[in-house]
Structure 1
Amino acid sequence: MTETDIRHTGSEAPAFPQDRTCPYQPPQAYTEWRGESPLTRVTLFDGRPAWLITGHAEGRALLADPRLSSDWGHPVFPVVVQRTEDRGGLAFPLIGVDDPLHARQRRMLIPSFGVKRMNAIRPSLQSLVDRLLDDMLAKGPVVDLVSAFALPVPSMAICELLGVPYGDHDFFEECSRDFVGAATSGEADAAFAKLYQYLHGLVAKKQAEPGDGLLDELIARQLEEGELDHNEVVMIALVLLVAGHETTVNAIALGALTLMQHPEQIEVLLNDPAAVPGVVEELLRFTSVSDYMVRMAKEDIEVGGTTVKAGDAVLVSITLMNRDAKAYDDPDVFDARRNARHHVGFGHGIHQCLGQNLARAELEIALGTLFTRIPGLRLAVPLDEVPLKAGHDAQGPIELPVTW
């Protein structure tokens, strides 16, 4: 099957992705897609039709189904964002490859992201959050919560975990932001090249002067023993560095915004510290920072009485799965005491987010401490004036002016 075979104008199906108008609510068009059928037809920017999976049960089953591929390097793998249209067959480790390569890469990293290790770094995370809030309170309102708090928490944390000098954070945060938010493939390629060259040099330096971060462990255990080559180590580092702070920045900012817009729910955090993990799970369900996951059918698959054919583009809607009334009572209600552990905010199946334990630790400490120390935190601008990221990016505010 060729790329031409699977394209058409797609004029009968709505465009995808779509932008949110409320930071924590699905785009308005999603309302029409929440029917009895667990899938609907949408059209990508290049005219290619795609299946959008909207049902919670069906989406979880598909994300665990080996008949769906995550291989970005496949010549007809769907392209959702125009800036990645000319990716030249480049497949990113972990997120853009299938088993057995994916399993091999993931096995190397699982010990570094386990619950025990994440619990061990909680004291340093708490210290970091306290310092950032000290600075915020000293400066006084109005403050952009993204740049002052939501960004440095995961950025510092992933640097410490990987062994990347935080002194370089302005550079790699800019490269990461330019890479994931580029308007064209040329802009994305330029940002990628700068970040790749930086990490290429860092890996070479660590080979000569080992440290104690995750990158140093990969070099000592895998590169030196021939399990990985230099390029693969650099690419793994790039994926972890970008993914390690891009999504969590949005989750912290969007979580804080959601709580500020539901002040009665903040009392759950303040009155019962043991409830904080549950509040975080509900925020992950309700906000769905990662709006969708992209796959391609390798074989014909029956979904809700419809045949998804081999070669079809499949988009699994994390947002609509997390708002499925068959899975949750009153799914559009933010309920801080809801048991939402079976949400798919971190995905599902073999590609479920490797760093979810780190993200949970960051969110629990960041949001729990933020509202404990500043219980009167509130937006400094009307909600509809908060600038939002585009529908094809991780969802969240670009800036979040707050006061107290």
Structure 2
Amino acid sequence: MQSRLINLAHSPRPSTSLRTRRLTLLLASLVSLLSLLGACASSTETDPTGRGRDTGTSVMDSGTRDGGGPVDSGTAPPRDSGRDTTIIGPSCGSITCEALERCLDGACAPYPACVADTECAATEICRNRFCLPRSADIDGDGVSAETDCDEANAYRYPGATETCDTLDEDCDDAVDEDVTQMCATACGAGTERCEGGAFVGCDAPPVGTETCNGVDDNCNGTIDEGLTRACSTACGTGDEMCSAGSWVMCDAPPSAAESCNLVDDDCDGSCDEGASCRSAVHRSLKSSTGEHFYTTNRTEAVCCGFTVEHYDFFHLYSSSKPGLVPFYRCLLANGFHFYTQSAVCEGSAGATRELTVGYIARSASVCGSTPLYRLRRGNDHFYTPSAAERDAAISTYGYVYESIAGYVWTTP
């Protein structure tokens, strides 16, 4: 404005009638301008010359794209389209008018203000709140004010391409309608739509979580990579990996066939079962003497006046194993037998070691063994793995409890 005043001051002084006419026009322009400012003060629009002007600081006013700089933080559209929407008005002497100004008698003056076409002359139309000539193309978009919806934005006119920027470029009273663009994930391409000046709702295939299915769920070019899970056998737990959609290579302790090693190889809670490791001991009774006799030989069990009370009464290992000791049968001088871990028959006078019945454990922790109780009544030594029978022999038959002879097994 200062430059304009200076230019006017140095212009040749006009005649009195000319000065009067200019003063009248200037006053009319000021009234229109004040009316416009009042309308702007009550309006919710941020740019009184049209919504097309980008008032941010990221644009260049050289008529070229501003490079799509950051979105302005003010009230301009939230998405910077990269367009330079600056409209330069006509030249007026040594100055350039604003977009919606005209050069009137050597001075820039706004077009008459309006809010409806009825306020304008027949040759004018109300656009951007100004009465503009119907044939005018102020924004240079090739469309006259007669059909244009915004003469302050060269990117808004009937037939313009709608973009995702919250503006109605094609002047159909709809914003960003049917604006889509391609989108993609690692798993493929799709389309997203514009809402509120931003693209949303990409329908490209989503990136999934990798599962053991022979498919590249996360679309990184590798199938079932890095997948592990816990696994187990009867003998313990471990981990297994996924390969080609299947779980393989479980490293849990494997279950094995039972062997005679005092170990539960198949982890079923029993030790050495079914491996023919142990021999059955049969119990017989000679009624004439009351002696109980124990042997692994079925023929011997019924010999010499003995009657079998229990076949397979308990079991002993047939051969020596770590942690086992021999279980001997000793013959006393009076013809009675007893059974012991002692190789010298416990030092009994006149006792003779006849044979090794089998191999017995010294503790209950060996392969599921159970105590073999030893009792005595007179010359008879009585052995049983049953605590109930032990108690009955004591309470009913007068036996005396001596000790645990060792630890035996109740299954083969």
Higher helix share: 1
Q: TM-score, normalised by structure 1?
A: 0.18
Higher share in strand: 2
Higher Cα Rg, which structure: 2
Under a length normalisation based on structure 2, what TM-score does the superposition of the two structures give? 0.17
Q: 1 or 2 for the larger relative contact order (CA 8 Å, sep ≥6)?
A: 1
